[in-house]
Amino acid sequence: GETSAFLLIIVGFLMLKYVVIKREAAISMILTVPVVVFLVPDTPEIVGHAPWVSDPFLYLIGGPSLLMAFFFLTSPSATPNTKIGGLLFGVGVGILSVLGKMYTTIAGVEMYSILIMNFLVPVLDYRKGVFQFKQEKAAVQGNNYSVTSFYATNTTKPIIDIVGINVPSFEAYDELPKFTEFRKILSENQDKATLLQKITASELRCGCGGAFMPVGKKWELAIANTPKYLVVNGCEGEPFTFKDYFLMKNYPHLLLEGIAISAWILDIKEVYIVINSAYDVCYDKINRAIDDFNKTFKDIKISFHVQYVPDLYILGEETALLNYLEGIRGEPRLKPPYPPEKGLFGQPTVINNVETLSWIALLLNKPDLFKEGQIKLITLLDDVASIQEVRLGTTIENIIKDKNITAIEIGGVSGGFLPADYFHTRYENKELSKLGLNIGSASIRTFTKQSEVLEAVANSVKFLQQASCGRCVPCRVGTQALDQFVNKQLITDIDKKALEWISEVSHTMQQTSTCGLGKTAPTALLSYLKYFEGNKE
């Protein structure tokens, strides 16, 4: 018994000190248990236990309290997200477990104490004005609420002045009457299967949100399961990506037409349009476009729900978004099943990015638009922050053009960094993957000094570390390790052993993380070590 208690104390200390875990519930339980034991009256009604249960210290180290605290109350999935909620959770478990031990003969009463407190997690997570647990409560205009992830509370994404440069496909849409293509579909009573074939043939990839899965293939899987919902993902939690913002603000009718065509083809009657809570102007624009659509097509019965979501990066992951819309934690689900099989409220669901759906009407209007390769919108953060159309396969140097640029970040915070020596690379996933990179969120950020790159790497790693939902160990622990490594790299050189260790951590994250956040989190650091190490000055 003494040996077990001693080992538990050592392991518990190491976990609380060095492992990325939830600490609040564990610490509050450890402190609560001896206090309750001390306060509980020592009466003849205490049944079935030796006299030592009345000694606070012996109770703590002799029973299962330490085991429960260190190995159950540190779970990121079973305990509240809020710090005050975690503290109250631990206090509750401590009180219930001691009282259960003292006054009942229930075996394993501590486990039942945790189960009872689990029912209270939604209550403990709720704080007026801070955490909106139910999605219908969060569906209000304005960013007057926030949600706490494992590490941090969401913040409002800074909106920069951004202009459209070289976006001819979208500018041409302004010259057409609103909803031109959808009117044509209805007037000609076009066959849905034929329309799906046209979109499939265009090779439009719905990875406009990052994954690059062909739209046609995704829709075919959904149709086989009779989809019930269409979710339009406008979360755009990347700090340096604004293409969806640009589209919702400047081309809301185009987006809505793409949504209507998609819903028509898929025979979906209910649509959720989710918008980053920082995008107030987009919320208004989308609602006005919906009003225009409903007035124009009175016989079309599509129910639109415009939903604000917190500015949390993890909600860009489609299953985490579904969880949030259902009123539960925004954490990624295990796959399979995939959303087209089992999605929102357990029903087959199609999830597409804002940009993907915005291309639908344009492609049906001009089927040859992608004849020479898919066109992609990118966010270029140069002297002027801009949105541009780029045909995949164009070289990076043709996108940037400025000869003073010495390095770029490609793909957002989950992407990586490249020096000017590689600007001849074609901007497409096939070529970028050879360098360990991908298009990702389709942003390109430029640097005139290579010495700025390491600081940018540190910021990217810190962002992803705070954005982790904490559900899976590889991401939760791995992002913390990456952050510590980069902070050390800022002040000193790293030896070969440390490099081997961080490479192993990165490989583990890429292979075993539940979602794309953990899989891509090492990319920024690995690209820096590969292309910039030794060029800090």
Nearest to 432 by CA among 467, 461, 408, 465: 408
More confident residue, 99 or 246: 246
What pLDDT, on a 0 to 100 scale, did the predictor assign at position 141?
37
What pLDDT, on a 0 to 100 scale, did the predictor assign at position 511?
93
Measured CA to CA in angstroms, residue 424 lies from 98, 228, 420 at distances of 67, 45, 8
Report phi then psi at 36, rounded to 5. Answer: -65, -40
What pLDDT, on a 0 to 100 scale, did the predictor assign at position 500?
87
Mean per-residue pLDDT, 477-490: 84
- HSE of 45, CA atoms in CB hemisphere, 13 A: 8
Condensed to tens digits (0 to 9), the pLDDT of residues 355-409 reads 999 999 999 988 888 888 889 999 999 888 999 999 999 999 999 988 889 999 9
Residue 280: band (very low, low, confident or very high) from pLDDT cuts 50, 70, 90: confident
- Structure tokens, 132: 């909106």
Condensed to tens digits (0 to 9), the pLDDT of residues 40-57 reads 876 665 655 566 667 888
Q: What is d(CA 42, CA 57) in angstroms, rounded to the nearest whole number? A: 15
More confident residue, 490 or 206: 490
Q: Which of 117-126, 152-161, 306-315, 414-423 has the largest mean confidence?
A: 414-423
Mean per-residue pLDDT, 327-346: 88
Examine the pLDDT at 82 and tell me if it is beyond 60.
yes
Examine the pLDDT at 520 and tell me if it is beyond 90.
yes
Give the DSSP H or E segment for 151: none
What average pLDDT does the chain have?
84
Condensed to tens digits (0 to 9), the pLDDT of residues 10-25 reads 877 777 666 656 678 8
More confident residue, 151 or 248: 248
- Is the pTM of the predicted complex or chain greater than 0.85? no
Residue 83: band (very low, low, confident or very high) from pLDDT cuts 50, 70, 90: confident
All structural domains of the chain: 2-125 (no CATH), 136-152+160-365 (3.40.50.11540), 393-531 (1.20.1440.230)
What pLDDT, on a 0 to 100 scale, did the predictor assign at position 104?
78
Indicate the DSSP class of residue 158: P
What pLDDT, on a 0 to 100 scale, did the predictor assign at position 60?
81
Q: What is d(CA 195, CA 46) in angstroms, rounded to the nearest whole number? A: 74
Q: What percent of the chain has pLDDT over 90?
A: 43
Examine the pLDDT at 175 and tell me if it is beyond 70.
yes
- Structure tokens, 480: 């913390």
More confident residue, 89 or 78: 89
What pLDDT, on a 0 to 100 scale, did the predictor assign at position 144?
37
Q: What percent of the chain has pLDDT over 70?
A: 86
Sheet holding 349-353, edge to edge: 303-309, 270-276, 229-234, 349-353
What pLDDT, on a 0 to 100 scale, did the predictor assign at position 395?
96
What pLDDT, on a 0 to 100 scale, did the predictor assign at position 501?
87
Examine the pLDDT at 132 and tell me if it is beyond 50.
no
What pLDDT, on a 0 to 100 scale, did the predictor assign at position 134?
38
Q: What is d(CA 311, CA 181) in angstroms, rounded to the nearest whole number? A: 33
More confident residue, 45 or 139: 45
Measured CA to CA in angstroms, residue 476 lies from 106, 250, 457, 483 at distances of 35, 38, 18, 11
